Chains A and B, each alone.
Chain A
Amino acid sequence: MTNHVAVERSPKAAANNPLITIAGLNKVYSSKKSSFEALRDIRLEIERNEFLSILGPSGCGKSTLLRIVAGLEDATGGEIIVDGIHVVGPGADRGMVFQGYTLFPWLTVRQNIEYGLKLKGISMLERRAISSHYLRLIKLESFANVFPKQLSGGMKQRVAIARALANRPKVLLMDEPFGALDAQTKIDMQEMLLEVWEKEKTTVIFITHDIDEAVYLSQRIVVMGSHPGRIIADHRVQMDYPRSAEVRENADFLSLKRKCSALLKH
């Protein structure tokens, strides 16, 4: 229901505002014996169509932050506004790609991509057209009627991206989606993701602990530190798209990598 409201109100309410505002966000896990501060005072504004990476060491709370934006976890304090609407719980306006494989094993590739559309009650013909478009985009047309168990890890993540995008979310949340892939597949996936992002012009928040990945993909990198999880730097990446593989040898690229690496060492 909230999705409908958001769609109708968004053009007027938030035309010039950032798409996503995260304000004073805190997260404390507390039990009877102890409490653990996972996130402290996170403030972040994300523009429309921006490709933002959140880079941080493991355990810094970057995934928790993303999950709070997705609505899968509640914050202890602060607020998140997506396109003029307060985030309460998960919704189709914030699509997510998880690190683990989360395709529905009982649905074929095409049915997986159409899952969200079907929930929305979109007609079969329209669903077909949309899923075909995304199958082409991720170059898996010939795997449309195959079950996920027959796909490789990289293919599964491509389908997961297509499934999230087919829903036309306002933002695509990616939680270390390529973390489990081998080095070469990871690079292929990064190139494919940029291609898709440029064509679809969606907003992306990408969580990673891989500096190279963050610099290669993003327009902007937010670096987080741990204990408690907080933002320690916010860098723009001044490189044009499309980015070829050679970008990785570029002086700007390397200096930014060094900068991030120095930040992560603390």
Chain B
Amino acid sequence: MANVEVRASKQMPRRRRPVLQIYKDIPQMTFTILSLSSFATIIVLWYALCLLEIVDPIFLPTPHRVLQELVYQLSTGAYWHHIGISVFRVSSGFLLACIVAIPIGIFAGTFKIGEAFIEPPMEFIRYMPAVAFIPLIMVWAGIGESAKILLIFIGTFFQLVLMVSAITRQVSVDLLQAAFTLGATRWQAIETVLIPAIKPNLMNTLRMTLGWAWTYLVVAELVAVNSGLGYAIMKAQRYLNTDQIFVGIIVIGLLGLMSDRIFAYCNRRFFPWV
């Protein structure tokens, strides 16, 4: 037997499987290494750009300079104040949008009447850039906290309604019908089938929308403010402190990553059945 195998492997030209296989899983270890090395590549390229002086250090500080600055900024109370106020603005605008948009979205996704009445104007408004509302928002809400929160609200609300209604419509009709044949009334079906069924998708939608909320926050903080991460970035630009601009961007990225991980954790924790 062994002989045969040896001969077979010697004589037969073996076709090797290609490395890139569509959808094929790779070992967890390989995955992690690849992810880390992609970060490493970015940093190496960055260093290369700086050390070879391809880009003026005023425009592109070195990674360790940015890291130093990051550590320094995080050791000051003022920076934490910026972070705090930004997180407050994002979460209030986003929460407000969720509170209003989720019920409306579920209503529009569940009943055709809701879809007909709610969706067409939403489709229209969502193509209007939220940023274009800034002058109007300043007229309506001034330049205080409510203006920032309102911009984040406008930026996420319309998308959220449409996305929630879309995921509500995806719920399998069979599940609803099963509930009806088990004696559920219309409202019971909504409460015990529709809502539990959309929860995991809803979490993913919120996770995505929260990312947009951060974008609108920075936009909101570029205009007429004196606090927040967006403001910190703007101020750094004024004095050409590019390292501080990088710090601001990285901190926002880290905050986004944190909230994303929290959502991911909640999904696993609360929806083990998916």
Task: Judge if B188 is at the interface, Cβ distance under 8 Å.
Answer: yes
In angstroms, Cα B172 to Cα A98, docked, is: 13
Given A106-B271, A147-B272, A148-B273, the answer on whether A119 and B183 have CB atoms closer than 8 Å is yes
B274 and A105 contact, CB distance less than 8 A: yes
Which residue of chain A lies nearest to B272 when distances are taken between CB atoms in the complex? A147
Task: Judge if B48 is at the interface, Cβ distance under 8 Å.
Answer: no
A3 and B273 contact, CB distance less than 8 A: no
Tell me the residues in window 157-203 of chain B with beta carbons closer than 8 Å to chain A beta carbons: 172, 174-175, 177-184, 188, 192-193, 196-197, 199
B181 and A164 contact, CB distance less than 8 A: yes
For A102, give its contact among B174, B183, B273, B274 (CB under 8 Å).
B174
B175 and A119 contact, CB distance less than 8 A: no
A164 and B182 contact, CB distance less than 8 A: yes
Residues of A within 8 A of B175 (CB): 102, 104
Given A72-B177, A98-B178, A104-B196, the answer on whether A91 and B183 have CB atoms closer than 8 Å is yes
Task: Judge if A33 is at the interface, Cβ distance under 8 Å.
Answer: no
B273 and A106 contact, CB distance less than 8 A: yes
A90 and B192 contact, CB distance less than 8 A: no
Task: Judge if A209 is at the interface, Cβ distance under 8 Å.
Answer: no
B182 and A163 contact, CB distance less than 8 A: yes
Residues of A within 8 A of B174 (CB): 98, 100, 102
Residues of B within 8 A of A92 (CB): 181-183
Residues of A within 8 A of B184 (CB): 119
Residues of A within 8 A of B177 (CB): 70, 72, 90, 96, 98, 102
Given A119-B184, A119-B188, the answer on whether A149 and B178 have CB atoms closer than 8 Å is no
For B192, give its contact among A96, A105, A119, A163 (CB under 8 Å).
A119
Task: Judge if A167 is at the interface, Cβ distance under 8 Å.
Answer: yes
- How far does the Cβ of A238 sit from chain B's closest Cβ, in whole Å? 32
Residues of A within 8 A of B180 (CB): 71-72, 89-91
For B183, give its contact among A116, A148, A173 (CB under 8 Å).
A116
Chain B, interface residues (CB within 8 Å), range: 20 to 34
Tell me the residues in window 146-182 of chain A with beta carbons closer than 8 Å to chain B beta carbons: 147-149, 160, 163-164, 167, 173
- Size of chain A's interface in residues, with CB distance under 8 A? 30
Residues of B within 8 A of A149 (CB): 273-274
- How far does the Cβ of A64 sit from chain B's closest Cβ, in whole Å? 14
In angstroms, Cα B199 to Cα A147, docked, is: 16
- How far does the Cβ of A95 sit from chain B's closest Cβ, in whole Å? 6
Task: Judge if A110 is at the interface, Cβ distance under 8 Å.
Answer: no
Tell me the residues in window 89-133 of chain A with beta carbons closer than 8 Å to chain B beta carbons: 89-92, 94-96, 98, 100, 102, 104-107, 115-116, 119-120
Tell me the residues in window 72-88 of chain A with beta carbons closer than 8 Å to chain B beta carbons: 72
Residues of A within 8 A of B197 (CB): 104-106
Residues of B within 8 A of A119 (CB): 182-184, 188, 192
A96 and B273 contact, CB distance less than 8 A: no
- How far does the Cβ of B263 sit from chain A's closest Cβ, in whole Å? 18
- How far does the Cβ of A259 sit from chain B's closest Cβ, in whole Å? 32
Residues of B within 8 A of A106 (CB): 196-197, 199, 271, 273
In angstroms, Cα B183 to Cα A71, docked, is: 11
Residues of B within 8 A of A3 (CB): 183
Which residue of chain A lies nearest to B180 when distances are taken between CB atoms in the complex? A90
For B273, give its contact among A95, A105, A120 (CB under 8 Å).
A105
B196 and A96 contact, CB distance less than 8 A: no
What mask results when residues 250 to 274 of chain B are scored 1 for a CB within 8 Å of chain A, else 0? 0000000000000000000001111
Residues of B within 8 A of A115 (CB): 179, 182, 192
Tell me the residues in window 227-253 of chain B with beta carbons closer than 8 Å to chain A beta carbons: none
B182 and A116 contact, CB distance less than 8 A: yes
In angstroms, Cα B182 to Cα A163, docked, is: 8
In the complex, besides A71-B181, A102-B172, A167-B183, 10 extra interface pairs with C-beta distance below 8 angstroms are: A72-B177, A91-B180, A91-B181, A95-B181, A96-B178, A98-B174, A106-B273, A115-B182, A167-B182, A173-B181
Q: List 25 A-B contacts (CB under 8 A).
A: A71-B180, A71-B181, A72-B177, A72-B181, A89-B180, A90-B177, A91-B181, A95-B181, A96-B181, A102-B174, A102-B178, A104-B175, A104-B178, A106-B196, A106-B197, A106-B273, A107-B273, A116-B182, A147-B272, A148-B273, A149-B273, A160-B178, A163-B182, A164-B181, A167-B182
**Interface of B toward A, CB cutoff 8 Å:** 172, 174-175, 177-184, 188, 192-193, 196-197, 199, 271-274
